[in-house]
Structure 1
Amino acid sequence: MISRTKKSVRLLVVLSFYFFLPFSCIDKLEFLEDKQEVQLVIYGLLTDVNERQVVTVSKTSAIGLRPMEIRDARVSLLTASGDRFRYVHNGLGEYFLEGFAALEGESYAIEVLLEDKVYRSNYEKIPELLADDVISFEFNKEPFRTEAPESVFTVNSETTLPNSTDPIYLRWTVEETYFWPLVYLPGTGFPPPPPPPCFISDVIEPNRLNLFDGSGSSTRKGNFALAKRLVDNSFLYPFFVSVKQLSINREAYEYWEKIEAVINNQGSLFDIPPASVYGNISNVEDQNERVLGYFEVAKTKVTRIYTTRADVPFSLVDPCQYFQNKPEDSYAAECKSCEARAQGRSWTNDAPDWWEFD
């Protein structure tokens, strides 16, 4: 019988890949032995949207710690027709391909060169089908992080499958972007220009997997709760939600389904043992080396909705409200700095291109 400690250790090794992901063909589950070893983790998502395409490269680290970022890899996108596109490293273990969109009918793979070793994924094509999402939101009082009712914001989708007999496999991610004005402290004499506002972004419930297998569905429509978060003062100003629907192939769906099964496994005696889930990336010259991660190519659609303070049925307090005689040093750091407010989330002073609301 496997001890609870060993079960926890094994599960954390699996999750070290999953929690490193930025807002995914397997034949079987491979089980870890008791001895933990450092493993390479590669994840890439390529979409048909003209956007920044990202690959992350890391290695598993000590239990309970984030994966170790790899900063000296050479990452390329390969096409079956012979083209090669080089990713640019951002210094933090992420590699970017700016302004690139995958084309229907073409097959793509990623190649990672590291320490004189070559790692390559299977070639993947973009699926042809997308579903229609009607995105909505609601505010409720319900248990979320605790057993007591809390103020909760929920993102929902009513999804209609395409009129086709071909199978469709879907995955959704949900990202928030909200406006945060810094306090304007004019001081004495000539007033300085007001500070530029903050636009802060983050994935809502990054550890949540939203999956749907439409291949055997008997209904054309489905209703899904895609993300939840607590209501706080982020909703004082315009708050956008971007829902990205990813249409993926069957192998990618099965990969994420196995990741989900491992995450949900609580170590019961009747559950399957925690496992490392291996994807479609391997060492070209050493097939015995186990590589974690996946390279997926997805047909993609992004739907955006937004809320304003008028939509929120709960009381919100502005911690940065300006008062004429209030000393400057009495304002919290989040009132004077976008970085302090973001607390590690992505932020910019420039509004996104799509930032429009009535």
Structure 2
Amino acid sequence: MRKIIYGFKLLLTLSSILIPTVSCIDRLDFWQETVEGQLIIYGLFTDSEDIHTVKISTSAPFGFRPKGVSNAEVYLIISGEEKKAYTNTGNGVYELHGLKAEEGQSYALEVELEGSVYKSKFQEIPKHVGIDSLSYKVAYEPFKTSLDEHVFKVYTNSKLPETSEQLFIRWIVEEAHYWQLLWIPPGVPLPPPCFIFDVMDPTKVNLFDGTATNSRSTEKLLATRKINNAFLFPFFVTVKQLSVNRESFEYWQKIEIVINNQGSLFDIPPARVLGNIVNTDNPNENVLGYFEVAKSSVSRFYVTSEISPIYLQPICEYIQGKPSNLYSSECLSCEGRAAGRDWTSIRPSWWVYD
């Protein structure tokens, strides 16, 4: 059995749809026998005014990241007629600016690629979404291994609207941290800042089924991550609560089952998790991923190094006489620090702290 891990970073991601420099979409883990070159399409369109992102890739051999597909034409179809083109930004990332989901309209995704047309089902935006009250906790406990580690945990106490309509909720947790590159004084300009973005705890699927309970509130542990030098400077957490339709919710339920499946004789057998996108000329083609339309609410907070119970060692401090090529790559460039994550040197508009 192979474990294929691939990341769609909106991010929002996530998901997710933040400003142009923060487009993290949560990662998906599929336990399955995946055929190399299998098409993967994932997109999220919400009522947010931020940038909406579609990621297109093909599955790679075991142990390698999926390969971005940059020769597609991508369109948002509005109520069956109007088309809005996504902008190709390279490496399989397509962005849509200046548009948001509205009640009463239906939306679908269309992808034209090498003579084939892929389409999702039409969806309408749900009418209701809840509000999150976020908190965090620092703990010392087993994490990823059997060894105890200092970890940072994000919680929500969510208040959901009173409504007779079915309510299905999914949460995406994104993180962002500042990083200062090596500065060699005097006479050398201060290097540009690095803002690094990622999905926190990407294998955790956070869901709430409003049809299974009468409660209009829920408390959840949303994400856990190890405390490390990302907390040297202000560290921001963004939580997106998404109100989705039943089909989308059931898709993520399947993803959760696949991720948590341990392979015992009595478990549900691992299998491909197919979404709502099909090849209109060849419906038998297995297309991975999903296009979902959601109503969203966004909550955000930040912490500083003061929360860390351990000393966080600066690693990019200038040492007189030490050649720059002897410093690690994360001290010399934002790309080196990001190590495949999203990054920018432009301060996000919401990056405000006391």
**Counterparts in 2 of 1:173-188, with a 5 A limit?**
173-187=172-186
> Is residue 41–residue 288 contact of structure 2 (8 Å, CA) maintained in 1?
yes
| Cα distance change, pair 33–248 in 1 and its aligned pair in 2 (3 A) | closer
> Is residue 36–residue 61 contact of structure 2 (8 Å, CA) maintained in 1?
no
Provide, for residues 29-71 of structure 1, a one-character-per-residue CA deviation record: whole Å limited to 9, x for no partner: xxx9989575322211111111221112223333343333222
Q: Which amino acid aligns with 1:203?
A: V
Structure 2 equivalent of residue 305 of structure 1: 301
Write the distance in 1 (CA, Å) between the matches of 2:34 and 2:220: 40
- After the TM superposition, which parts of structure 1 deviate over 4 Å for at least 4 consecutive aligned residues? 32-38
Write the distance in 2 (CA, Å) between the matches of 1:342 and 1:276: 30
Q: Cα offset for 1:184?
A: 2.6
Does residue 197 of structure 2 align to residue 201 of structure 1? Answer: yes
Show structure 1 runs of 5+ residues with no match: 1-7, 25-31
Provide, for residues 185-206 of structure 1, a one-character-per-residue CA deviation record: whole Å limited to 9, x for no partner: 214xxx2332222111111122
Does residue 322 of structure 2 align to residue 315 of structure 1? Answer: no
| Cα distance change, pair 291–327 in 1 and its aligned pair in 2 (3 A) | closer
Structure 2 equivalent of residue 42 of structure 1: 41
Structure number with higher helix proportion: 1
Does residue 8 of structure 2 align to residue 21 of structure 1? Answer: yes
Write the distance in 2 (CA, Å) between the matches of 1:225 and 1:109: 32
Q: Which amino acid aligns with 1:335?
A: C
Q: Which amino acid aligns with 2:193?
A: P
**Secondary structure of the equivalent of 2:352?**
coil
Cα RMSD, aligned residues only: 2.3
Structure 1 equivalent of residue 82 of structure 2: 83
**Counterparts in 2 of 1:51-62, with a 5 A limit?**
51-62=50-61
Write the distance in 1 (CA, Å) between the matches of 2:228 and 2:236: 14
**Secondary structure of the equivalent of 2:97?**
strand
Q: Cα offset for 1:322?
A: 4.2
**Counterparts in 2 of 1:164-175, with a 5 A limit?**
164-175=163-174
Q: Which amino acid aligns with 1:57?
A: I
Structure 2 equivalent of residue 28 of structure 1: none
Q: Cα offset for 1:21?
A: 2.7
Structure 2 equivalent of residue 106 of structure 1: 105
| Cα distance change, pair 291–338 in 1 and its aligned pair in 2 (3 A) | closer
| Cα distance change, pair 328–86 in 1 and its aligned pair in 2 (3 A) | same
**Secondary structure of the equivalent of 1:227?**
strand
Does residue 213 of structure 2 align to residue 214 of structure 1? Answer: no
Write the distance in 2 (CA, Å) between the matches of 1:212 and 1:129: 14
**Secondary structure of the equivalent of 2:90?**
coil
Does residue 137 of structure 2 align to residue 138 of structure 1? Answer: yes
Provide, for residues 199-238 of structure 1, a one-character-per-residue CA deviation record: whole Å limited to 9, x for no partner: 1111112222111112221322211111111111111111
Write the distance in 2 (CA, Å) between the matches of 1:209 and 1:92: 26
> Is residue 104–residue 124 contact of structure 2 (8 Å, CA) maintained in 1?
yes
**Secondary structure of the equivalent of 1:310?**
helix
**Counterparts in 2 of 1:1-358, with a 5 A limit?**
8-9=1-2, 12=3, 15=4, 19-22=6-9, 23=13, 36=35, 38-80=37-79, 82-187=81-186, 191-322=187-318, 325=320, 327-329=322-324, 331-358=327-354
Provide, for residues 77-123 of structure 1, a one-character-per-residue CA deviation record: whole Å limited to 9, x for no partner: 10115210111222211211123211121100011112222111110
Q: Cα offset for 1:20?
A: 3.8
**Secondary structure of the equivalent of 2:195?**
strand
Q: Cα offset for 1:335?
A: 2.7
**Secondary structure of the equivalent of 1:100?**
coil
| Cα distance change, pair 322–39 in 1 and its aligned pair in 2 (3 A) | closer
Q: How many residues align?
A: 334
| Cα distance change, pair 149–89 in 1 and its aligned pair in 2 (3 A) | same
**Secondary structure of the equivalent of 2:296?**
strand
**Secondary structure of the equivalent of 2:271?**
coil
Q: Cα offset for 1:250?
A: 0.6
Q: Which amino acid aligns with 1:153?
A: F
> Is residue 77–residue 85 contact of structure 1 (8 Å, CA) maintained in 2?
yes
| Cα distance change, pair 271–334 in 1 and its aligned pair in 2 (3 A) | same
Show structure 2 runs of 5+ residues with no match: 16-30
| Cα distance change, pair 337–293 in 1 and its aligned pair in 2 (3 A) | closer
Write the distance in 1 (CA, Å) between the matches of 2:329 and 2:70: 32
Deviates more, 1:338-347 or 1:127-136: 338-347
For normalisation by structure 1, the TM-score amounts to 0.87
Q: Which amino acid aligns with 1:59?
A: T
Q: Cα offset for 1:311?
A: 2.5
**Secondary structure of the equivalent of 1:327?**
coil
**Secondary structure of the equivalent of 1:237?**
coil
Write the distance in 1 (CA, Å) between the matches of 2:318 and 2:310: 22
Write the distance in 1 (CA, Å) between the matches of 2:65 and 2:165: 39
> Is residue 185–residue 328 contact of structure 1 (8 Å, CA) maintained in 2?
no
> Is residue 36–residue 58 contact of structure 2 (8 Å, CA) maintained in 1?
no
| Cα distance change, pair 335–287 in 1 and its aligned pair in 2 (3 A) | closer
